[in-house]
Amino acid sequence: MSLAYILRRLGAIVFVLAIVTLAVFGITMVLPGNAAVMILGEHATPESLAALEHQLGLDQPLAEQYLRWIGGVLHGDFGTSLRLSLPVSQVVGEAFRNSAWLALLALVTVTAIAIPLGAVAALRRGTIWDLLIGLFSYIGTAMPEFVTATLLLVLFASPEWPVLPAGGFVAPSQDFLGFLRHAILPAATLGLILMAHISRQVRSEMSEVLSSEYVRAAHLKGISRRRVIWRHALPNALAPAVAVISLDIGYLLGGIIVVEEIFAWPGLGRTLIYALQNRDLPVIQAITLLLAVVYAMSNLLSDIVIAWLDPRVRHA
């Protein structure tokens, strides 16, 4: 993979994000409700509403509002939260850190478990282990987040069996063990579905690699089974798995909204729901744009990792 390819992808990302900014701005402008009414209340006088709309720039043409907003974004200024009266960068930045902790914990733990599970299923194809791992992956894929969350809450956070907290958040800088205890259930809710996707993909790809001609040839040359697995089968099965992980980041960004609301986790999802309920336009715009940037960059990173793992892609 050449530097020119990476630069082309970055250029494509910039173009897509430019389209996303137009879409985000347009959608937030047509949301039901009035931001001034949300701030001042339904009993505010028309004069006070008009004055606030002028102060917020809501009485200007849409094109002028967009250019003012995108100019601020390019300078790192996302405006001020209409509801909290705090800089949007502060509100969204804190929420992003909390969501990033949760997503990272889920993704790292799941990847460390799902890849060996998929490999075991492929190596023990047709056995009880393959059947059990396959059954788990099908159930995990079919279950929505709120069902998984409910089951985990009943099993580990019920009044009769309060093993883990049912919700809430502790900052890792204050109490790291407390943070982990509060993060286990929401991370597991996200992770079980991701684990099912990744283990199925690794199992499928590794089974195909183990049945390939060059693996048979390696066995005929006397290369040990362990070396064939580690040097040939697993690396070739990992490249498609990385692609699945990058696609699952899109699911993660959507699923985290539901999970954070269920477990009262103060991240991007919960902040976005609060902003939508209160028509806090600057916060909605900033979070939506941030999610688009994260998804675009994760796809670029996955392409780089796939090229590093798979020589065929690297030299293409």
Any domain includes 172 = yes
Any domain includes 308 = yes
Written as six digits, the tokens of 105 are 């914990």
The strand pairing partners of 162, in sequence order, are: 157
Any domain includes 214 = yes
Any domain includes 96 = yes
**Full-model pTM:** 0.77
User: How far is the C-alpha of 267 from the C-alpha of 101, rounded, in Å?
Assistant: 9
pLDDT band (50, 70, 90) for residue 91: very high
Residue 229 has pLDDT above 60, yes or no: yes
Give the pLDDT of residue 95: 92
Written as six digits, the tokens of 125 are 């194809």
For helices 281-309 and 3-29, give the axis angle rounded to 10 degrees: 160
For residues 108-133, give the mean pLDDT.
Answer: 85
Residue for token digits 């049945």? 211
- Contacts for 293 with CB less than 8 Å, ≥ 6 apart: 17
User: How far is the C-alpha of 116 from the C-alpha of 121, rounded, in Å?
Assistant: 9
Expressed as residue numbers, the domain containing 150 is 3-32+78-314
- The CATH number for 150's domain is 1.10.3720.10
Residue for token digits 């390939």? 212
The residue among 134 and 316 whose pLDDT is bigger is 134
Give the pLDDT confidence of 129-182 residue by residue, as tens digits.
888 888 888 887 778 888 888 899 998 988 888 889 988 898 888 899 999 999
Instruction: Give how far Cα 202 sits from Cα of 151, 184, 210, 212, 233, Å.
Output: 27, 25, 12, 15, 10
Any domain includes 163 = yes
Asked if 139 and 196 count as a contact pair (C-beta separation under 8 A), the reply is yes
Asked if 306 and 243 count as a contact pair (C-beta separation under 8 A), the reply is yes
Cα-only R_g, the chain: 24
Any domain includes 37 = no
Asked if 122 and 203 count as a contact pair (C-beta separation under 8 A), the reply is yes
Buried b (16+ CB within 10 A) or exposed e, 126-162: eeeebeebbebbeebeebebeebbeebbeebbeeeee
Any domain includes 73 = no
Number of residues assigned to the chain: 316
Q: How many domains does the chain have?
A: 1
User: How far is the C-alpha of 221 from the C-alpha of 12, rounded, in Å?
Assistant: 46
Any domain includes 126 = yes
Instruction: State the DSSP code for 231.
Output: I
For residues 95-124, give the mean pLDDT.
Answer: 86
* Cα within 13 Å of Cα(227), Cβ side: 7
User: How far is the C-alpha of 37 from the C-alpha of 20, rounded, in Å?
Assistant: 27
- Contacts for 201 with CB less than 8 Å, ≥ 6 apart: 118, 240, 241, 244
Residue for token digits 């580990």? 156
Give the pLDDT confidence of 200-222 residue by residue, as tens digits.
888 888 888 777 777 777 777 77
